[in-house]
Structure 1
Amino acid sequence: MADNRGVTYQGPGTVEVRDLDYPGLVLRDGPGVHPDNVGRECPHGAILKVLTTNICGSDQHMVRGRTTAPHGLVLGHEILGEVVETGPGVEFIKVGDVCSVPFNIACGRCRNCKEGKTGICLNVNPDRPGSAYGYVDMGGWLGGQSEFVMVPYADWNLLRFPDRDQAMEKILDLTMLSDIFPTGYHGAVSAGVTTGSTVYVAGAGPVGLAAAASAQLLGAAVVIVADLNEERLAQARSFGCETVDVSKGDPKDQIEQILGVPEVDAGVDAVGFEARGHGAGAATEAPATVLNSLMELTAAGGAIGIPGLYVTGDPGGVDDAAKRGALSLSLGTGWAKSLSFVTGQCPVMRYNRQLMQAILHDRVQIAKAVNATVISLDDAPRGYAEFDSGASRKYVIDPHGVTGKAA
């Protein structure tokens, strides 16, 4: 029964809003659903009315045809919603609660979840550790760029906001808690950012901007954000970051002009596998560029956080190696400089409660930093197209018109 609508992937460059079945407390068959997950019962789940759901750069990789995502996949893993139904196994979450949904789906029962590694839960994806809503090879849990969505293990996964009115007032900031803000923060923490650090963030898309704002929150002395897109660099400057235009050559020279030395204490890769070259090569895809550059730029003994997405299968890769996620890394440089690296999904639950508190107590304005822009569900295809063209905006889909701010 079509009592729901959502954004679906219909092939490279194409997303469409389609009628969907209203979610139930069972995982039904459909595009991308792992056969072993079909029929999986979720008495521990809750159904949410989606209040806001964001378009992510990771979604864009799929929409560009750079993954093996199947046609018809319901997109969206950044979700904030109101609980409208709970399963018989849900004890603490109640109907009417307004909650953030971590993009990682986690059971709360396995060894990894108990160790706080919720990005690599062992029980929710039959293929490999880790799962997410509306994402390729992640078990087939339906995405949240829709009017309604089911969240399994609700008592464990949902972050309930303490006051509904306050949450609605700050909804554009709080919607970033599902992924982008914790992911950027994780990148900065993984890079060892602390009071007085100098930080280089590669990529001025929403995750890079969130990483930059997070570095400031952590006490960095100077945050330098690099990109090819002047509009995105201007957005970084709008909240106090220094910027580097990598189309103008090796970023080391520009960093030296800013800091007096050609290196930083901490580096963050917020670009991922669709990286481009620097200088004259800026128009050409070169997926190892950012990682190799960060190894050159980061001071010996430093660390590199890698929230940018890298995949094991890329049909559009520049060569056979890139198509299977094998990059030509100068690992010897990293070894010689004793650099540390942290990769993988951000374990959102490690950070989201603390970041919620920072938002509620006005310690950070993350929506302003990433230029949150509200659109309707029907405008989602336009949002994807504009985001893909390089617009310096974080598109927030408002399926029910609750924010009153849709453009």
Structure 2
Amino acid sequence: MGGNRIVVYKEPGVVAVEDHDMPTLEVPAEVAEAMGMTRKADHAVILRCVSTNICGSDQHMVRGRTTAPPGQTLGHEITGEVVEKGSDVQFVDVGDICSVPFNIACGRCRNCREGQTGVCLNVNPARAGSAYGYVDMGGWEGGQAEYVMVPFADFNLLRFPDREQALEKILDLTMLSDIFPTGYHGAYTAGVTTGSTVYVAGAGPVGLAAAHSAQLLGAAVVIVGDLNADRLTQARSFGCETVDISQDATLEDQIAQVLGTNEVDCAVDAVGFEATGHGAGGGEAPAAVLNSVMGVTRAGGRLGIPGLYVTGDPGAADPDAKEGTLKVRLGLGWAKSHSFTTGQCPVLRYNRNLMMSILYDKARIAEAVNATVIPLDDAPRGYQEFDRGAARKYVLDPHGMVPRAA
């Protein structure tokens, strides 16, 4: 049948754009069977993908650093136009343009009712929490595609109030599916407020989103650390201070050069398990960032940890790290009375307010992350350039709608 081009993981370092069947209003068989729900999804919609982004979390799979099998479809950052809806969808209509939280949530379970949509109990037989196009997340098809099915649409979708306004600001609004709320979640749970001094580890798109979010929350100084010179330049482009962790000068000393003290009020880990140790000879060290943010955060401070940590990493350097057991200095965090927030961002907690900040020109997230539009067929190139450290957030444009809007 065909009719839906979609990005697929083939082997470590290789993705391809393949022709798959069009999505239907059905949930994956493994979810329906395990969770006792019908496959027929009258609660779902089919979206024509207006924009869909490449994420650092996708890169972990593509590098072979997860248990993702060949053939895994990719893509959880989705903005789309409703082209078909089930009979039970009441509050979104064909033609509406909507942001799709990367968390798939039923809206009915205890966790969803408590606002913890990142750990929905009904959409993934393997564990709490699910996402489109991701390993161990329930088998939901990815959204780096021309079309995608979104379940429980009335609950999950954020409808943009005006179509033309949405298309004009689509490069900013496309970030609402993941990295803007995720970065904001990191800064918010770290306790960033008016006058805070903040350290953000990582100048990839989520780190840059966290830095921009810290500014929105009123931080006095935001310091971003990375070893990629181009990404540090991007952080400085919107007013951040930077530190280069590839230098032999300690992180504490570099922070002291900025602040006059070697501690910050709060910190965000936007790196995750593929972390690198400090200094010119620093190799991969999965607990390095967690330990460094504890080291530079004041006693009584808080740490936001939106960076991804996994329970299965075939490429890890040691057996413990292969199952997510890391050498974290918990005693240091305990001694300093730190508070930690980890896990998937519950996107629905933040996305509407961040949408309003975009629509009324209070947030310029596309500029902060250097949004770069490419056609869907160029996804393999985007993955390669992103993996080499390009200081860009790649936005895939399956239907040629984004350049016209931009």
**Shorter-chain TM-score: what band?**
over 0.9
Alignment correspondent of 1:255: 255
Matched AA of 2:206: V
Aligned counterpart, 1:308: 307
SS at match of 2:399: coil
Tell me how far apart the structure 1 counterparts of residues 352 and 281 of structure 2 sit (CA, whole Å). 42
Maintained 8 Å contact 1:100/1:175? yes
CA distance in 1, matches of 2:370, 2:254: 26
Aligned to 1:319: 318
Secondary structure of the residue aligned to 1:355 is helix
What is the RMSD of the two structures over their aligned residues, measured on CA atoms?
1.5
Q: Secondary structure at the match of 2:102?
A: coil
8 Å Cα contact 1:206-1:393 kept in structure 2: yes
Partner of 2:111: 112
TM-score, scaled relative to structure 1: 0.97
1:19-38 → structure 2 map (5 Å cutoff):
19-28=19-28, 36=34
Partner Cα separation in structure 2 for residue 334 and residue 20 of structure 1: 48
Give how far 1:34 is off. Answer: 9.0
Unaligned runs of 5+ in 2: none
Give the direction of change, closer, same or farther, for the CA distance of 1:202–1:150 in structure 2 (3 Å limit): same
Aligned to 1:266: 266
Paired residue for 2:151? 152
Per-residue CA deviation, residues 281-302 of structure 1 (Å, 9 max, x unaligned), is: 33x1000000000111000000
- The answer as to whether partners of 2:311 and 2:324 remain within 8 angstroms in 1 is yes
Any conservation in 2 of the 1:376–1:406 contact (CA below 8 Å)? Answer: no
| Number of matched pairs | 404
CA contact (8 A) 1:181 1:211 kept: yes
- For 1:370, the equivalent position in structure 2 comes to 369
Q: Distance in 2 between matches of 1:74 and 1:232?
A: 28
Alpha carbons 1:375, 1:406 under 8 Å: kept: no
- Distance in 1 (CA, whole Å) between partners of 2:331 and 2:280 is 25
Matches of 1:129 and 1:58, distance apart in 2: 18
User: Which residue does 2:173 correspond to in 1?
Assistant: 174
Change (3 A) 1:73 1:39: farther
Are residue 404 (structure 1) and residue 403 (structure 2) matched?
yes
Question: Do 1:262 and 1:297's aligned partners in 2 also have CA atoms closer than 8 Å?
Answer: yes
Return closer, same or farther for 1:75/1:310 CA change in 2, 3 Å cut-off: same
Following superposition, the deviation at residue 406 of structure 1 comes to: 11
Q: Provide the residue aligned with 2:337 in structure 1.
A: 338
Contact 2:170 2:405 in 1 (8 A): no
Instruction: Name the aligned partner's letter for residue 270 of structure 2.
Output: A
**Cα gap change, 1:72 to 1:35, in 2 (>3 Å):** farther
How far apart in 2 are the matches of 1:405 and 1:390? 28
Identical columns (%): 72
Which residue is 2:3 aligned to?
3
Q: Offset at 1:35? A: 6.8
1:92 corresponds in structure 2 to 91
Q: What CA deviation, in whole Å up to 9, does each residue of 1:72-127 have, x standing for no partner? A: 11100000000000001111110000000000000000110010000000000011
Summarize deviations over 1:25-82 as a string: whole Å, max 9, x none. Answer: 11356xx989747972211000000000000000000000000011111100000000
Paired residues of 1:225 and 1:236 also in contact (CA < 8 A): yes
Q: Deviation per CA, 1:326-379, whole angstroms, max 9, x where unpaired?
A: 000110000000000000000000000000000000001000000000000100
